[in-house]
Amino acid sequence: MKYFEIGLDWNASLDSPWDAVWPTDDDSNLDCLEGSLPLLYIWNQPQVTIQRRERTPDIFGFVLHFAVTERMKSALEPLVGNEAEFLPLSCADDQLFAVHPLWPIDFDEGAELHRNSVSGNVTVVEKYSFSINPAEFNGPRHLFRMLQPERSAARKAGYTLDRLIMSERCVEILNAIHAKGIRYRHVHTVGA
């Protein structure tokens, strides 16, 4: 299966014509999204505002995370199942959901990573490489983040990398509903 890193759709000048979402309060209450513990039952629905621009997307960059519309949530939820939570955000204008992947994956020996010499945390991913261990998760993987390496400070603190990885099935679903404001970059193929 092919896997893609998702990102926002910027123009060639790195300007975004898309609406943006910002937390109304201090964004430190979003730190819990960095880990992989389930949050649905303790989630406090942080207040957010939408900065209106030229176009409204189905996915928003949201302080190193992603927020999606009800339409995108409804399209992905049946496939993603218990791999991720879609946590509601409090917004006066629209219903939006923070994407919170629950089952991160480790890089394998084929990955090419740059790491901070002090903390051991990944600073740049040159090449993704990972395998899906059926003993750890029964079934194909569709939406996840990557774990920080063993013995890194971020891993010890329970943090993952902030990039979302999505299967080709997710991409097909989002292309079928003509999801707006998203780009896909192929990063790895498992089982080829």
Distances (CA, A) of 55 to 9, 37, 52, 75, 187: 11, 34, 8, 21, 28
Per-residue pLDDT, averaged over 22-51, amounts to 87
- pTM for the whole thing? 0.91
User: pLDDT tens digit string along 171-190?
Assistant: 999 999 999 999 999 999 98
User: pLDDT tens digit string along 99-112?
Assistant: 999 999 999 999 99
User: pLDDT tens digit string along 66-75?
Assistant: 999 999 999 9
pLDDT at 138 over 80: no
As a whole-number percent, the residues of the chain with pLDDT over 70 amount to 98
Gap between the Cα atoms of 49 and 85, Å rounded:
21
Distances (CA, A) of 126 to 32, 107, 115, 180, 188: 27, 12, 11, 27, 12
pLDDT at 192 over 70: no
The single-letter DSSP state of residue 54 is: S
Query: Which pLDDT score is estimated for 187?
Result: 97
Query: Which pLDDT score is estimated for 114?
Result: 94
Q: So where are the chain's domains?
A: 2-189
Per-residue pLDDT, averaged over 149-172, amounts to 92
pLDDT at 16 over 90: no
